[in-house]
Amino acid sequence: PPRPRIAFEPRSRPPPRPEMKLIGAGFSRTGTISLQEALITLGLPCYHFFELMSKDADLDIWYKYSLDPAGSPLPYKALLEGYEACLDFPICVHYRELMEEFPDAKVILTVRDAEKWRDSLAKIFRTCGWVIVFALVCPRMLKVLVIGVRASFVDTFKMHLDRANWIEAFNRHVAEVKAAVPPEQLLVFDVREGWEPLCKFLECPVPDAAFPHKNKGMSAVQRKILTVVWRDLTDVRFWLRLALVVGSIVALVYASMNLVF
């Protein structure tokens, strides 16, 4: 007798992976947190420095690169898998490499008054100076600090810390991006302009919600840094390292006292 046929249900195809649609070339403190929130509202998962700070694997990759750029090339596609947009330091100083990696992606350059930008960035460094203390015993905070120093002081400001150099570096970066990116692929964007130019550039409808304006002060940055510090404080390895440091200091003090007396 003929064998009964077995009906096979067709396998469902996996959903397509998100593709990089938007590369952010604007520096930190140009509205990148507001823009990230806006892009998420438009349905574009967005990679920001805050995302990097939340992922130990990403911290390790960027940290190794920051210490040895030539010996630790960045796996851009692996880092940005699942995201459709990327912004802020350290991404913004890699916009040329990202354009090569994602040739169909558009580029957005967030801008603001250069002097106000410099004052805002300097305020971060002054307000968050205590981060250096935590970095001595908090490995995650140390990595965040090294990544930030590489992207800003080394790659951008070339270790020149005077006010005029920062402003010149900002204006130079804006000019370089405008020269490097084809006009039809680039949006020069001030977040005060709101949804209209952004949605027109991305060819999507304007949402009903108001355009987000986040991080006008320091609260968002401080909260994120405290989150990283808290992760270290709740890690038993932190206390072991702290005990080792304190024990070493006590031993050195005790040994020096014995030498003196």
Q: For each of the chain's 261 residues, which pLDDT tens digit applies?
A: 555 554 444 455 545 567 899 999 999 999 999 999 999 999 999 999 888 888 889 999 999 999 999 888 999 999 999 999 999 999 999 999 999 999 999 999 999 999 999 998 888 777 666 677 777 777 888 888 889 888 888 888 776 778 898 899 999 999 999 999 999 999 999 999 999 999 999 999 999 999 998 765 556 666 666 666 656 666 656 556 666 766 777 777 766 666 555
The dihedral of CA 120, 164, 28, 114: what is its sign?
Answer: positive
Tell me, what's the pLDDT at 245?
A: 66
Residue 86 CA to its chain's centroid (Å): 8
SS3 46: strand
Let me know: does 227 contact 131? Beta carbons within 8 Å: no
- What's the CA gap between 250 and 232, in Å, rounded? 23
SS3 24: strand
- What's the CA gap between 65 and 78, in Å, rounded? 14
- What's the CA gap between 91 and 23, in Å, rounded? 8
- What's the CA gap between 20 and 99, in Å, rounded? 10
pTM summary value: 0.79
Long-range contacts of 175-180 (CB under 8 A, 24+ apart): 177/25, 177/95, 177/107, 177/109, 178/109, 180/95, 180/96, 180/99
